[in-house]
Amino acid sequence: MGQATRREFLRSSAGAALVGTAAALGWPRDTEAASSEVVINYSGGDAGEAMREVYFNPFEKETGIKVIFTSDVDFGKLKAMVTSGNVEWDVTELEGLDEVIIAAKNGWLEPLDYKVIKTDDLIREGVHPYGIALAYYSTVLAYPKRLEGKRPENWAQFWDVKKFPGARALGSYPWANLEFAVMADGVPPNKVYPIDIDRAFRSLDRIKAHIKVWWKAGAQPAQMLSDGEVDFTSAWNGRIFALQQKGVPVAIEWNQGVLHFSSSGIPKGAKNKENAMKFLAFTTRPDREAAFAKVIPYPGLNRSLYKYLDPSYGVNLPTYPENLKKQVTQNYDWWVKNREKVDLRWNEWLTK
């Protein structure tokens, strides 16, 4: 379901090299676990390599549970496996909380055991009875540093083309854009949901003629900023951070960014459910999440991960405390209920 771009962010390289993992903290071993396995279905590519280094190998070492990794992620296959009773996966990645909500409603997921998975330090919005946040990213306002002092600091200013002249770009899909539109129209961040759809499109009408590019892939905003094609654009934080790591003078405005996350869930009828619960508990540990964030700048939901990161690096991540409090977490419940009619209206609006 949904836009291909929703999952692309985690598949792509963030421009950093794989790093060594921290020493194991000592998960209890037992004879049964030593001869068992867990089948993990996550995104491949750079994210898959990072997960092998940061999650899979250390988990195997600590527990004796062999990790069998399979990709790519396929929501339709999840439905087919559970419906047929031939469930191959024990853990699967899910898009945002959208797919968690839909899959849970249809009985395709096991409820998570939060006695095994500790939630004390976890970001509340990322914890669901049937799914748990895997990695966070943000759609933010990005700009070249040469325009510091002459650039928008919020979406109302992005909409103000007279006070802040320059070429602009936005994503070619409704999610995040509707949130930006109502904030540009004066809605406070904590009042964005439920989105007033009519108000959002009236606001979008005012900026539409000034959008030079409606980007379709996560690489586009970064490339356009690098080339000087646009001055201000929405973008995924990891793409901009990758440019910064290469010395390209670009910057992020975290204020009024929209925070998204992918999730993990356990398919209904998973053969190794207990091992899957242990694996999810392992992946939400702050040391593991910090190790992953060093490789690809999309952190997990454990607030304590920043104890394991140098602040000079942590400040670049979307859930860093100062960045987190400036943003709006996407309300997936609202989007699941309204997505079909919003998608239809968006496509009509964008092409007219």
| Residue-wise pLDDT tens digits, 203-248 | 999 999 999 999 999 999 999 999 999 999 999 999 999 999 999 9
Domain residue spans of the chain: 5-136+261-322, 137-260+329-351
pTM for the model stands at 0.88
* Cα 220–Cα 223–Cα 228 angle in degrees, nearest 5: 120
Which CATH architecture group holds 5-136+261-322? 3-Layer(aba) Sandwich (3.40)
Annotate 247-273 with DSSP letters as a single string.
Answer: T--EEEEEEEEEEEEEEEE-BTT-TTH
- Kindly give the residue spans of alpha helices, DSSP state H, lying in 106-236: 155-159, 177-184, 197-208, 219-227
Query: HSE-up of 181 (CA within 13 Å, CB side)?
Result: 23
Confidence grade of residue 21 (pLDDT, cut at 50, 70, 90): very low
Where is average pLDDT lowest: 24-38, 125-139, 279-293, 320-334?
24-38
Span 137-260+329-351: which CATH code?
3.40.190.10
Q: What is the pLDDT of residues 292-345, one digit of tens each?
A: 999 989 999 999 999 999 999 999 999 999 999 999 999 999 999 999 999 999
Q: What is the mean pLDDT of residues 56-75?
A: 96
For residues 250 and 195, what is the distance between their CA atoms, to the nearest angstrom?
31
Same topology between domain 5-136+261-322 and domain 137-260+329-351: yes
Asked whether residue 14 carries a pLDDT value surpassing 80, the answer given is: no
pLDDT value at residue 96: 85
